[in-house]
Amino acid sequence: MGIKWNEILVGGDPLLVGSQIAIVLTVVAIVVGLTYFKKWGWLWREWLTTVDHKKIGIMYIVSGVLMFFRGGIDGLLMKAQTARPEMNFLDAQHYNEIFTTHGVIMILFMAMPLLIGLMNVVVPLQIGARDVAFPQLNALSFWLFFSGAMLFNISFVVGGSPDAGWTSYFPLAGKEFSPGIGNNYYAIALQIAGLGTLMTGINFIVTILKMRAPGMTLMKMPMFTWTTLITSIIIVAAFPIFTVALALMTFDRLYGTHFFTLSSGGSDMLWANLFWLWAHPEVYIVILPAFGIFSEVIATFSRKTLYGYKSMVISIVGIAFLSMIVWVHHFYTMDAGPAVNSFFSITTMLIAVPTGVKIFNWLFTMRKGRIQFTTAMLWALAFVPNFVIGGVTGVMLAMAAADYQYHNTLFLVAHFHYVLIPGVVFAVFAGLYYWWPKMFGFMLNEKLGKYHFWLFTIGFNVTFMPMFFLGLKGAVRRAYTYSAESGFAPLFLVSAIGSIILAIGFAVFCYNIYWSFRYAKRNVSHDPWDARTLEWMTASPVQFYNFAVVPEVKQLDAFWHMKKRGETLTLKESDIKKIHMPSNSGLPFYMAVVFGITGFFLVFEAHIAAAVAAIGIVVGLIVRSFDYDDGYYVSVDEIKQTERTWRNVEGGTENHVG
């Protein structure tokens, strides 16, 4: 097998040893804490076996915030290393590992779960459904994602991190040039997490197409639901490509095939081609739901209906279509010839058109609106100018001829951080501040939120703006150091200082969660923002069955118009019927465990052990096939009791309890 089992734990570096000790202490603390407070049963019943879309969403969000922390630490380490020329804080190998894990974690284990988490919490509520179409599959999605994320995260202390970049280009990522097991983690862990994402895509397509409240036609859906639908369709188109590419990579690395190798007829650029066939749509998978969040936030806090709804929908579909035919712009320098590069230049620049339409629609939504400067709205406002910087530099990069100059420089790195941070991270923060009361029944502190906003936004610009200029001066990406003579030092230092401000901003956010959890007012209204869509029609936090009576939708912004028409939330007792709900299941969690164990053995190329563990996966599938549990009914009495806690079941109602 060639694996030295006594050298599995990566040692030597004080940073790594410190992390190992911290991990062990944290695990011990969690186990002792759960036992001491007798919370094991609660954890199992309420969270590990839940199929409730809101709880699954919250678990996604918690994982995403934790991964944000991990990826952020990676980013800070890189910034510390490059703060001064010829620093010896990290060596080249460690730096390679850190930029690789930073990229993978921030895209796949931070951006994806935070957005999928918000989709899970919000979309069924926005369409007036009681859960997603396949609740147990949804739980399996989460647990597979979690299993993959954990497997990937242990790499830096067990066996060594992948070090070939988040793109893992061949031939570098092949066995020939990366003989260690680090890159096995990439192939296996992303495969497991990707399975979960694919299932999420299918689940949300079916949920949105089949489970909308009566009267909600496609063109009456809230914009976030629209973006989720289109995102899910791109997931279903793009993720299988990655599944296949990763499987071929696994064969190359573990079983000696030659799909991507230089020798024996392999094609290294085929990997780059397949990778970007997935990874470019992946960028739109994370940006489209974010656009949906901004649409909801801007409409709510401008007190206006979204401007140009139809053109918004056409733009999303256009972006989704174009997202599939721009992938070569990531490797113009492969030199595929003028016809190919010109085609992909044009399609790439075309994306600016629907995106521009969307930007103007948001601006026109705000025009003559009565704008409320809540924290959520601040993120949406800051998004517009910052994202435009990212978008315009993107059009610069889209020109194949010019790209030969920018390629592999920090200009590119600055560009995609200007797209992904305002586009995705700002959206996630906006969404979290906006929907927090719906999830937890209390609001995040607005004052701390504003500190968070200003520190993060200023820190972001100070970190990444200098990198545009560093890139234009010729500073390359993924280089662990530079000479004093290069003249890069001052801008790198500014960038490092910016990253500290950025980190303080994130720390304020974490403190805000803690502060609000302990001290925020609890009797928050079901509709604290005077919002427009159906999720605000039901209690905060939402009852497990979502809606006592499924609402009837007559137009866009259904809840807003109900309020305008003076329709109260009073519930007639005769309208309450028993509700059918899905049962909890421990199977998704079990599957995550066996997938994780199988994956771990595969990473270490222990093939027989992996095969034995894989029997566990098959057993899980068989058990599921014979599962005839059709769920249970919530009794009318229980519904009445639950509804009485937040509204009058017969008689008058209060629109604003808080």
Partner 1 sequence: MEHKSKYPVSHVVGFLFSLVLTFVAVFVALKMNVSYTIVMWIIGSLAVIQAGLQLFMFMHVTEGEDGKTNVINMAYAVFVAIVIVAGSIWVLTSGHAAH
Kindly tell me which of 63 and 207 has the beta carbon lying closer to partner 1: 207
Q: How far is the CB of 317 from partner 1 (least distance, A)?
A: 12
Q: What would the x/- binding string for partner 1 be over residues 517 to 556, using CB under 8 A?
A: ----------------------------------------
Within residues 20-59, the interface with partner 1 by CB under 8 A covers: none
Q: What DSSP line would sit under 245-263, residue for residue?
A: HHHHHHHHHHH---SS-SS
Q: Are 224 and 289 in contact (CB under 8 A)?
A: yes
Based on CB atoms, which residue is closest to partner 1, 340 or 349? 340
Taking CB under 8 A as the criterion, which residues in 315-354 touch partner 1?
Answer: 324-325, 327-328, 334-341
Q: Which two tokens stand for residue 610?
A: 């992996």
Interactions with partner 1, residue window 228-287 (CB under 8 A)? 233, 237, 241, 267, 269-270, 273-274, 277
Q: Output DSSP code: residue 409.
A: B
Q: Which is nearer to partner 1, 340 or 614 (CB)?
A: 340
Task: Pick between residue 307 and residue 327 the one whose CB is nearest to partner 1.
Answer: 327
C-alpha 649: how far from chain center:
38
Residue type, 425: V
Q: Draw the binding track, 180-219, toward partner 1 (x: CB under 8 A; -: no contact).
A: ----------------------------------------
DSSP reduced 3-state for 374: coil
Q: Site map for partner 1, 390-409, x if CB under 8 A?
A: --------------------
b/e map of 278-287 (b: 16 or more CB within 10 Å)? bbbbbbbbbb
Tell me the C-alpha distance between 586 and 608, whole Å. 27
Count interface residues toward partner 1 (CB under 8 A). 21
By beta-carbon proximity to partner 1, the closer residue of 328 and 412 is: 328
H or E element at residue 419:
helix 410-420
Smallest gap from Cβ 57 to partner 1, in A, equals: 28
Rounding to the nearest 10 degrees, give the CA dihedral for residues 490, 494, 499, 502: 180
Bridge-based pairing of strands 632-634 and 579-581 is antiparallel
> Whole-angstrom Cα distance, residue 145 to residue 281?
19
- CB 631, CB 553: distance < 8 Å: no
CB of 238 to partner 1, least distance (A): 9
Give the residue with the Cβ less far from partner 1, 233 or 609.
233
Q: Provide the minimum distance between the beta carbon of 202 and partner 1 in the complex, in angstroms, as a whole number.
A: 12
CB of 195 to partner 1, least distance (A): 18
Q: Measured from the CB of residue 330, what is the shortest distance to partner 1 in angstroms?
A: 11
User: Cβ closer to partner 1: 233 or 489?
Assistant: 233
Could you tell me the smallest distance in angstroms from the CB atom of residue 337 to partner 1?
2
Q: CB under 8 Å to 500, separation ≥6 — which residues? A: 76, 79, 459
Q: How far is the CB of 335 from partner 1 (least distance, A)?
A: 4
d(CA 247, CA 253): 10
Question: Residue 279 CB, nearest distance to partner 1 (Å)?
Answer: 14
Cis amide linkage into residue 541, ω under 30° from 0: yes
Kindly state the tokens that stand for 279.
């990874």
- In the complex, the residues that contact partner 1 under the rule CB under 8 A are 233, 237, 241, 267, 269-270, 273-274, 277, 324-325, 327-328, 334-341
